[in-house]
Chains A and B, each alone.
Chain A
């Protein structure tokens, strides 16, 4: 588990940030994206995948969350 931050990107999409490794990547897909259920599997544009426990869609971004790494980014 790692602390991550999800932000609104300038171009509209979501941006994933992993402070520990100072890794910034845009989120290509998010498993659940409804007002009640938001989160699940995150696919990043660098090939990595992470999982965040689904929560109600946050009213405001950025938000810090705990995420589990499913697949490492190719480096």
Chain B
């Protein structure tokens, strides 16, 4: 546990980069920075959203992962075809824990994997016929699906299949939306472009399909955008919003349906949680339909209260009153949680390395528990994410963009945090080093972490990880004895 000054952190970065060849060092230097709260624009200190360096271990995913896995996948009543070879879809199947209500295989399809299973002959002769046949079969076997999306894997772009024309024809034949998504994995530098492509596909093929149809609106209609219901996050969010008197018309896209998406242009306000993956569609709705959007943060009571007031400010006094009542009602529960866990967690240091919003969003929740985040970074964040992060992080803390496996390990060894929050790929490396790790992508199979209910679980989980006796037993007893003897001598 160490707190470093600005110079020391700078020196640490230089030291870690020492092993790289000259060119790689120059490139990686730009992605590592010491936080300076006075900087307004992150690009003065950190470069992001660039191609990863060949040869380093990056933790990023591909555009297909961003589209199929993140944005489209959770839309539960549609069938998402992983178009191409079987692996991309099968190895990522059901890995993201976006919970939903429904009977899988009958009216919802979230955890199933549909693929066109490309073989050599499909690559050579093209797979359009196979795709058309596949859609026919799906319609026959799963008649309750509300639409189909075709998520292209790498080969589709390489062999130049015309999935758009197949989709258009199929959509007419089955009289349901069939959406071709050009999210081949090789596009862009990370999954981030996949989010963008997926947003554009929703804009072009889904969003305006109910324009002009009757809709019974209320002045309190909102949409939850960019909440993927990991472990039930969106539900924990929805409860609070409904208690405030708002009507949640749609959830994008955790536990969401295509009908909800088509109804979204009628809402009064878009509530944007994951800015990175869904700012595109929010901007589009703002321009085309005049729906404003606000970013909010439902991690930890401080940020929740801030966000609730910010949301309520858009509505009339009845909502504002109810919001205050909600805040007052949950306050004792929050106080009890903090009273219980804060003394156990106070002063502990955390390093984070996650995806698109959590590297900054969860900082408040840790601070509510008296913990401190001493380093954070995004896998695929852009400059605007870092702009927002600089203000959340303490001065002279460490920022790392698309950090490599080596760098993260070295930083952790030097900074010695009490805990790391990252993903499954990092988990066992650090745990074997004796540092507890909580997965901040999948909540380590726990959750929800959003909202008031989520904070209770978050606090408990952090305590479980930090207080686990196992980390005190990393040195075997015979070596321990030797060490003690040495110390005594």
Contact = CB atoms under 8 A, between A and B. Distances in A.
B283 A17 contact: yes
Contacts of B192: 22
Nearest to B294: A10
A7 B384 CA distance: 15
A71 interface: no
A22 B382 contact: yes
Given A45-B41, A46-B41, A62 B383 contact: no
B175 interface: no
A8 to B, nearest CB: 10
A19 B280 contact: yes
B70 to A, nearest CB: 16
B290 A60 contact: yes
B383 A63 contact: no
Contacts of B335: none
B307 interface: no
A19 B41 CA distance: 18
A45 B283 CA distance: 21
Nearest to A21: B49
A1 interface: no
Contacts of B196: 19, 22
Interface in B276-303: 280, 283, 286-287, 290
B283 A62 contact: yes
Contacts of A7: 283, 286
B342 interface: no
A19 B203 CA distance: 14
Given A19-B280, A23-B383, A24-B383, A64 B287 contact: yes
B287 A5 contact: yes
Given A45-B41, A46-B41, A46-B43, A5 B290 contact: no
Interface in A58-74: 60, 62-64
A24 B384 contact: yes
B283 A5 contact: yes
Interface in B380-429: 382-384, 387
Interface residues of A, number: 14
A64 B196 CA distance: 17
A23 B283 CA distance: 13
Contacts of A17: 283
Contacts of B41: 45-46
Nearest to B40: A45
Contacts of A24: 383-384, 387
Nearest to B188: A22
A23 B196 CA distance: 13
Contacts of A22: 49, 192, 196, 382, 384
A48 to B, nearest CB: 12
Contacts of A75: 43
Residue among B287, B382, B387 with the highest chain A CB neighbour number at 10 A: B287
A62 B287 contact: yes
Contacts of B286: 7, 62
Nearest to A45: B41
Contacts of A23: 383
B106 to A, nearest CB: 38
A17 B287 CA distance: 13
Contacts of A45: 41
Nearest to B199: A19
Nearest to A20: B196
A17 B49 CA distance: 16
A62 B383 CA distance: 21
A44 to B, nearest CB: 11
Given A22-B49, A24-B383, A63-B287, 4 more contacts: A22-B384, A24-B387, A62-B283, A62-B286
18 contacts: A5-B283, A5-B287, A7-B283, A17-B283, A19-B196, A19-B280, A22-B49, A22-B196, A22-B382, A22-B384, A23-B383, A24-B383, A24-B387, A45-B41, A46-B41, A46-B43, A60-B290, A63-B287
Q: 9 smallest A-B Cβ distances: which pairs?
A: A62-B287, A24-B384, A22-B382, A62-B286, A64-B287, A5-B283, A60-B290, A62-B283, A63-B287
Interface of A: 5, 7, 17, 19, 22-24, 45-46, 60, 62-64, 75
